[in-house]
Structure 1
């Protein structure tokens, strides 16, 4: 078997590196956030109240989005900016996932990088935020059920 450098192969073949999967991109972002776990990062201000076009343009200095955009690997993969819309498209985040992981209404104005990493992991692994929402729904039901029983008995 003959070994050739990548530059030599490019002259005779179209050699393209494999793109990262969604899970690999998300995992890299989480790892970047965990490299400096006590770094204070800014959350995004109440994104749920912004119209979709305005929401896509939101950016904040020293945010989890800026940590992702500072990474040359994620930029080479196609992350276009540290704006919410670009990040949601690149990481394939739903509105609910972006809200849970990044919004100030759930995390306050600032939070440690490791906490953002955990929120991001929780919301994208398919198990994190749904049980939390379910727990809140059950708690609400438990709180209102005695009132209904009292009204109808």
Structure 2
């Protein structure tokens, strides 16, 4: 048997590297770790995610944002992260709108944020499961009166 490098194998075959599936917590932890590699890096914030219609919000993206950092990582892409849109991040990281809003929205930090700050918000989202306030806020956001107001803006 002849030893070949991965590059040599790519010349004769399509080589796919597979990773064991990560849990939600592992995906969030990995994202936070990516952000913490350069905590002083300035990242772009998303403007007014809470005021966007659902369709616009799901397609929203911002160059050099916390979501771009996640999408640039080959491990997260191999795990199934398809792009750096708000909707894809919400799906992939299994976050509520309120949790993702806390990570990426400009209303907390202005037009830019430090990567270290975003990492803290990601870690906060990891620990929010089961907390009464977050569940209550999420339930209120789905009351019919708030859905009517959201649709009225469309």
Normalized against structure 1, the TM-score is what? 0.71
What displacement does 1:74 show?
0.1
Residue aligning to 2:88: 86
Q: Please say if residues 19 and 78 of structure 2, whose CA atoms lie closer than 8 Å, have aligned partners that are also in contact.
A: no
Describe how 1:82-121 pairs up with structure 2 within 5 A.
82-121=84-123
Q: Write the deviation string for residues 32-91 of structure 1: whole angstroms up to 9, x where unpaired.
A: 000011000011111010110110000000100000000000000000000000010000
* 2:36 is equivalent to residue 65 of structure 1: no
Structure 1's unaligned 5+ residue stretches are 1-15, 135-153
The match for 1:44 is 46
Asked whether the 8 Å contact 1:47–1:99 carries over to 2, the reply is yes
Match of 1:54 in 2: 56
Q: Is the 8 A contact 2:44 2:113 kept in 1?
A: yes
Off by >3 Å, runs of 4+ in structure 1? none
Say what the alpha-carbon RMSD is for the aligned residues: 2.2
- Structure scoring higher RCO (CA < 8 A, sep ≥ 6) equals 2
Check conservation: 1:97, 1:124, Cα contact below 8 A: no
- TM-score normalised to the size of structure 2? 0.71
Rg larger for: 1
Contact 2:45–2:105 under 8 Å retained in 1: yes
User: Which residue of structure 2 lines up, in the alignment, with residue 31 of structure 1?
Assistant: 33
